[in-house]
Structure 1
């Protein structure tokens, strides 16, 4: 088992047999002086009034009249649960999706022919991401102790929605190239998360410790963004034409797996405040309209769509069609739904 795991590559076959040759410029020369794990203190949660635990605009169910009518205490409680979900998402994303890929890269088992400096930098990313996972989990524990309100559903659920979505993505790949979806999702998440984190540190409505924690994360992720943009160049140039044709059409699904709201967690939290299943369905459907979700994903993914365009991914007709169908290439079809079917899921 351990020997197999040691030898297993994300891309099969000898790396030297795959095309390579991109230039790489490291952004980690001053890592010891800049990394949050090296220089930032432990962030200590404290309740600050009047304040919000999470931006309500990023969790629109709390703005819905059926929820807002239940009072500020209910809204505050839901925003605290959304903070927990964000922290849990971060911990699981780092542990399940990013650290394993960065580890494979650092140990020369990605299946890509990468420069030694790029492999060395991947080890620094492993350290960064382990710290992000740790401080997110620690901060959630502090918040629960300080507020007396525990996390709801984290231990009993299937995990953040991206976990299930990534498994479904893997099932869509030919058996011979399963593993590339791990690289793909790491590229997607690491190039998109810095944009997601950018506004929260400037939101003065939030507790200072929340803003500082997210700022610590965002500063590290800025370097990771540049790194994984380089990983995309190496990965795409290394794939055969057949592999690109198999992988390319799945990229929009990977983007959606990362950016689409976690409807199951939201439904669980809305049920906890006494909403019926019909009311929960209505709140979620009206808070996240299909067209609004598509537009939001398209805007957030625009830089990554450009990166895939630059490496030639959208030169393939099927890949281009999948981006267009998902609304990522300027010709969105509004009839395509986000896939929210609340009555068909288990909370």
Structure 2
């Protein structure tokens, strides 16, 4: 990203490496836990597919130049790291989940709280160092990025429902009853308090077009 030589404190660089290690650890223990469940229950793990939000990101990035694409990845990661903590925080207390699952999520969420604080601090440091045009282009994509984290992967859901023997008509009814857009947006708003606050704090919504883009996606900002 030659256009941007971000000036950030060295401690943020050090902590970024620590977060990378956390991320690898989370990935490894999640795989190990899934394999343990498969071995214990005898239920085979269904084939994995690329998450919908990554497909959405790739589509959004098509019209960006190389520098903007790298910034888009940073913005997208900031959304992910500020969304996941409030989303995960409620599960360790949900006694409908078996204890090992709650303990695993609780361990993960403790780390994610540190990650949230880190990315809030990092975003503040880089915000003023991004030029207006790039900032404007990227911010107009943020509401779609934000929504994509909660948007159901309908292709994957349809595939799974077909495997379970549901007819096309039954699948349509399941999707319409389970995933109305207003409920999805309501879920996003409930889970994105820290993300929206960060955007407000840097003055993002002072730009009418950016604020309108969020409203068009259904977000009250």
TM-score grouping bracket, smaller chain normalisation = over 0.9
User: What corresponds to 2:219 in structure 1?
Assistant: 328
Structure 1 residue 143, shift from structure 2 partner: 0.9
- How has the CA–CA distance of structure 1 residues 185 and 315 changed in structure 2, closer, same or farther, with 3 Å as cutoff? same
User: What corresponds to 1:122 in structure 2?
Assistant: 16
Provide the aligned length of Structure 1 versus Structure 2: 221
User: What corresponds to 1:151 in structure 2?
Assistant: 45
**Is 2:147 aligned against 1:256?**
yes
Describe the SS at the equivalent of 1:179. Answer: helix
User: What corresponds to 1:138 in structure 2?
Assistant: 32
- How has the CA–CA distance of structure 1 residues 199 and 176 changed in structure 2, closer, same or farther, with 3 Å as cutoff? closer
Paired residues of 2:12 and 2:122 also in contact (CA < 8 A): no
Residue 207 of structure 1 is aligned with which of 68, 75, 98?
A: 98
**Is 2:138 aligned against 1:247?**
yes
User: What corresponds to 1:183 in structure 2?
Assistant: 74
Paired residues of 1:298 and 1:327 also in contact (CA < 8 A): no
Instruction: Report the structure, 1 or 2, having the larger helix content.
Output: 2
Q: Deviations over 1:226-249 (max 9, x none)?
A: 000112112221111111111111
User: What corresponds to 2:206 in structure 1?
Assistant: 315
Paired residues of 1:236 and 1:311 also in contact (CA < 8 A): yes
- How has the CA–CA distance of structure 1 residues 14 and 262 changed in structure 2, closer, same or farther, with 3 Å as cutoff? closer
| Paired residues for 1:215-294 under 5 Å | 215-294=106-185
Structure 1 residue 213, shift from structure 2 partner: 0.6
Structure 1 residue 118, shift from structure 2 partner: 0.7
- C-alpha separation between the residues in 2 aligned to 1:329 and 1:231? 25
- C-alpha separation between the residues in 1 aligned to 2:158 and 2:112? 30
User: What corresponds to 1:13 in structure 2?
Assistant: 3
Describe the SS at the equivalent of 2:149. Answer: helix
TM-score (norm 2): 0.94
- C-alpha separation between the residues in 2 aligned to 1:132 and 1:292? 29
User: What corresponds to 1:41 in structure 2?
Assistant: none
Structure 1 residue 277, shift from structure 2 partner: 2.2
Structure 1 residue 172, shift from structure 2 partner: 4.0
Paired residues of 2:82 and 2:195 also in contact (CA < 8 A): yes
| Unaligned segments of structure 2, at least 5 residues | none
Instruction: Work out which of the two has the higher radius of gyration on C-alpha atoms and give 1 or 2.
Output: 1
Describe the SS at the equivalent of 1:178. Answer: helix
Paired residues of 1:187 and 1:229 also in contact (CA < 8 A): yes
Structure 1 residue 14, shift from structure 2 partner: 4.7
Q: Deviations over 1:267-316 (max 9, x none)?
A: 22211210012211220121011211122112222321121011011122
- How has the CA–CA distance of structure 1 residues 322 and 172 changed in structure 2, closer, same or farther, with 3 Å as cutoff? farther
Describe the SS at the equivalent of 1:238. Answer: coil
Structure 1 residue 329, shift from structure 2 partner: 2.7
- C-alpha separation between the residues in 2 aligned to 1:291 and 1:205? 26
- C-alpha separation between the residues in 1 aligned to 2:63 and 2:43? 40
| Paired residues for 1:58-97 under 5 Å | none
